[in-house]
Structure 1
Amino acid sequence: MTRPQRLLAINNYFYRRGGAESVFLDHIDMFEAAGWDVVPFAMQHPANLPSAWSDYFVSEIEYGGAGGPVTKARQAAKVIFSLEARRKIRELVRRAPPAVAHAHNVYHHISPSIFGALKAEGVPLVMTAHDLKVACPAYKMLSGGRVCERCHGGRIHNVLLHRCVKDSAVVSGLVLMETLVHRSLGLYRDTIDRLIAPSRFYRDKLVAWGWDANRIAYIPNCIDASQFTPPSDEGDYFVYAGRLAPEKGLATLVHAAALSRQRLVLAGGGPEEQALRRLAQDLGADVAFTGHLDKPELKRLIGEARALVLPSEWYENAPVSILEAYALGRPVIGTRIGGIPELVAHNQTGVLVEPGNPSMLADALVSVANLSPTARAGLGATGRDWVRREFSPELYRDRTMDLYEALG
C-alpha cells in the first residue's frame, strides 16, 4: 500500500476567524477527504482546533497586551522575523516530510522566516495571496480610506510617510522595517514557487507590481452549493454581510438606502458601526444592525433578502460572500472595483455600479426592488448554476492538485 501524499498547511490561526481561515480550513478538509495526510502549522491560540501537531505551533503573539519596552522590542523582532517559527518548522518538516507546503496568511505572527527554511529543506512552496501584502506593505493598497498605489516601484517609505497602517507612525514604521527586511532577504520573491491569486484582478495587479506572471496561478475560491438551500420566502430588504469598515463603502450604501427608501440590513460588526448608526439616523434611512450572526442565521438573512449588496471602495479580492449569495439563490449588487466584477455578471446574476456613487447605487436598489420576485429568483438561480459549474470544491481541488503536481 502506497503512503498518502503529505501536505504542510500553514496559516497564522487554526480556527475560523475570517475569510482566509475559512479557505485554509476548508482546503485541509478537502485534501484530507481526497486521501492526503495534512499536517497543519500555525500559532498557538486558545480558540484553535485540536491537532496532533500543535506542539510544533509557534507561541502566541498577543497585540496590545501588557509589557515593557524590552518585551515589546522582542515582540517586534518576532513580527519581522521569527527565529522560533523557523526552528519549529524545520523540526516539523524533518519529523513529517511533506510533498508540498501551502501557506496562507503568515505575516505578523508566524512570519515569512519559515520560507527560507522550507527552501533549504527542498520543500516546494505555494502561497495563496488573500491580500496584496507581497506588493503593498499595508496589504490593501489603501491609505486614508482611498485606493493608493504610492509604493509602486519600491517607494515603500510612503507607508510611514502617510501612516497607512492604523493611522499610526509607530505601527507604520514597524511595517516599513518589516518590508525592508523581508525584501532585502528575498523572503517572498526568492522562496515562493507559486503564488495563487483567487481573482484575475489580483493576478494582474501583482504582475503590474513586478511579480513574474509565470509564478502566479489563478485559482478562484470555491463553495459547496449543496450545503445551501435557497429559501422559499423573500423579505422586503437588502443585506450587506461583512465587516463594518470604512473601505467597504457602507456610508455610500446608507446614503443610497436613504435616497431609494429601501430597507437595509447590515450584518456584522466593526469600527464604523456607531458612525453608520448616526448617519442612518441623520438621513432617516431604514437601516437595521444585527451585529455578528452565527452561520445559520446569516444564511437565512441573506437567503430571504432581495439581494446581497457589496458596495466596496477598495481592491476586494474574490469575496466568498458573493458565492454564498448565489448558492442561496440570491442576486448581488456590487461595485466595479477589484475582483468583484469577475463575480457579478451585470443583469444576469446581479447589477454592477461604480464605487462611491450613492445615486447610482440607489438606482440599482430601486431597479432590483421593482423586479418581480420571480425575476430576482431568476438572477439568483443563474448565479447558483454558475457557482455549481465554475466554483465547485471539486474544481478547486483539481486545479490546486495540478499545481502541486507541476512542482513535484
Structure 2
Amino acid sequence: MQRLLSLNSYHYRRGGSDVVYMEHDAMFRGLGWDTAQMSMHHPRNVASPWSDYFVDEIEFGNQYGLLEKVGMAGKVIYSLEAQRKLRALLERFPADVAHVHCIYHHLSPSVLPVLRKRGIPVVLTAHDLKIACPAYKMLNAGGICEQCKGGRVWNVVRNRCLRGGLATSALVGVESAVHKVLGVYRNNLARVVAPSRFYMDKLMEWGWPREMLSYIPNYVDAQVHRAAFDAGDYFLYFGRLAVEKGVRTLIRAAVKAGASVKVVGTGPLEAELQAEAAGTRVEFMGFRSGDELWELVRGARAVVLPSEWYENAPMSVLEAYACGKPVIGARIGGIPEMIVADETGWLFESGDVEGLAAELEEVGRAPGGRLAEMGRAARELVERDFTRDRYRDEMLALYGSLVGAAR
C-alpha cells in the first residue's frame, strides 16, 4: 500500500485551497492509499487520527502578549516545532510522497527539508503566488504589483502589502528574504502543480524552471450538481467579500445597468459594500452553502466573477458551469482560459465598471434560449475537460514518476 502525507495549515473547509487539500486526501484514500495529514490545531478542525502531530495554533487576528508575538514571529519564518512534530509523524508514517498545500506562516516551509532528507518527493499545489510574491497575490493598495520580481522583496515592506501594516509586512519581508537565501522552496520541492496555465507562465516569469512545473487543472464532479438551463432574472456573485474580488466594481456596474444582483458570501468589506449598495437592486444574501447555494446558482441568469487580482483557477467558474450557468468573468489571471467567449460566457476588462455594465445589459437582453444554449455548452465543458478522473489520473502519473525517480 502506498502512503500519501498531506500538509496544510487548516484542517477544515475554511477556503478553496483547504477544500482541495481535504478532497485530495479523501480521493487517494478512496483509491486504496494509506493517508495521513499534518496541520495546525484549530477549534474548527475536523477529527484526524494524526492530530497529535499538529502544530500549535497561530491566528493573526487573535490577541497575543509580547513574548507570544516574538515566538510567533519566529515560527512564521521557520518553525522548529513543525520540524520536530513532522519527524515524529514520519516515524509512524513513512510516506512515499508528500503533497503540500498552503503551509505558509503556520507550518512554514521548514517542513520541506525534513521531507527531502528522508528521500520523500514533495509536491506543492500553487493555490496562490506565494512561492513568487511575498504577499501571495501580486496585489497591493495600488493594484496589481510585481515589484518583488528578481528577489527585490524589500518592496513588500515599502508598499505595506500585507493588510496595509508596516509590522506584518516587515515580518513577511524578512520571512521571504530568509526563505530565498536558504532556497527552502526551490531546493526541496520535486514539483509544483499549477491549476492554471496562467500561473505556470507567471511562475516561469519569476524564475521557476519549466521542468519543475506541472499543469493539472482543478475539477468539479458534475454528477453531484443538478443543472438548470432556464435563464433567471438576476445575476449572482458568490465568494469572499474582499477588495481583490472586485465586488465594488460589480455593484457600480449593476447600478449603471439597472441590473438585479444577488451577492452571496461574507468578508472584511461586507458592511462597507452593503452601505454602498443601499437603495440599489443589489441584495446581500450572507453566507450560503450546500443546496441553498446551488439553488441560487441554478436560479441565476449568469454568474459574475469580477476579480481584480491574478485569480488562479476559480472553482466558482466550474461550479457555475456544472449548474448549467454561463459566467461573466474579468479578463485577469486564469479566468480567461476557463471561459470560451460567447460560448460559455463573456469577458470584460478587470476593474472596468462601464465594460461590466455593458455586459450585464447585453446578457440581460439576451433571449432565454440563447442563455440556455450557453449553459449547456458550459456543462459539457466541465464534463469533458475538468473531470475528477482527469485530475486523479494526472496526479497518479505525477506521483508515479516522482516516486520512481526517488527509488
> With structure 2 as the length reference, what TM-score do the two structures score?
0.97
How has the CA–CA distance of structure 1 residues 362 and 117 changed in structure 2, closer, same or farther, with 3 Å as cutoff? Answer: same
Distance 2:148 2:366 in 1: 44
What SS does the corresponding residue of 2:163 show, helix, strand or coil? coil
Cα pair 1:333 1:350 within 8 Å, conserved: yes
Query: Letter of the aligned partner of 1:21 in structure 2?
Result: D
* Aligned-CA RMSD value: 1.2
* Percent identity over paired residues: 50
Is residue 2:189 matched to residue 1:192?
yes
Give the alignment partner of residue 219 of structure 2, picking from 197, 218, 222.
222
Q: Shift of residue 50 of structure 1?
A: 1.2
Cα pair 1:145 1:246 within 8 Å, conserved: no
1:141-164 CA distance string (max 9 Å, x none): 001050000111111100000100
What SS does the corresponding residue of 1:384 show, helix, strand or coil? helix
Cα pair 2:230 2:372 within 8 Å, conserved: no
Match of 2:335 in 1: 340
Q: Shift of residue 121 of structure 1?
A: 0.7
Match of 2:82 in 1: 85
What SS does the corresponding residue of 1:333 show, helix, strand or coil? strand
What SS does the corresponding residue of 2:12 show, helix, strand or coil? coil
Match of 1:124 in 2: 121
Cα pair 1:30 1:393 within 8 Å, conserved: no
Match of 2:351 in 1: 356
Is residue 2:303 matched to residue 1:308?
yes
> With structure 1 as the length reference, what TM-score do the two structures score?
0.97
Match of 1:294 in 2: 289
Query: Letter of the aligned partner of 1:368 in structure 2?
Result: V
Cα pair 1:56 1:88 within 8 Å, conserved: yes
Q: Does 325-334 or 39-48 show the bigger shift? A: 39-48
Is residue 2:201 matched to residue 1:207?
no
Distance 1:264 1:205 in 2: 33
Match of 1:19 in 2: 16
Aligned residues: 403
Match of 2:389 in 1: 394
Q: Does 125-134 or 234-243 show the bigger shift? A: 234-243
Query: Letter of the aligned partner of 1:304 in structure 2?
Result: G
Give the alignment partner of residue 31 of structure 1, picking from 1, 10, 28.
28
Q: Shift of residue 374 of structure 1?
A: 2.1
Cα pair 2:229 2:375 within 8 Å, conserved: no
What SS does the corresponding residue of 1:52 show, helix, strand or coil? coil
Cα pair 1:16 1:22 within 8 Å, conserved: yes
Cα pair 1:231 1:300 within 8 Å, conserved: no
How has the CA–CA distance of structure 1 residues 107 and 172 changed in structure 2, closer, same or farther, with 3 Å as cutoff? Answer: same
Give the alignment partner of residue 164 of structure 2, picking from 158, 164, 167.
167
1:210-232 CA distance string (max 9 Å, x none): 00011000000001000000136
What SS does the corresponding residue of 1:39 show, helix, strand or coil? strand
Query: Letter of the aligned partner of 1:358 in structure 2?
Result: V
Match of 1:328 in 2: 323
What SS does the corresponding residue of 1:13 show, helix, strand or coil? coil
Cα pair 1:225 1:327 within 8 Å, conserved: yes
What SS does the corresponding residue of 2:381 show, helix, strand or coil? helix
Aligned runs of 1:42-61 on 2, under 5 Å? 42-61=39-58
Aligned runs of 1:361-400 on 2, under 5 Å? 361-400=356-395
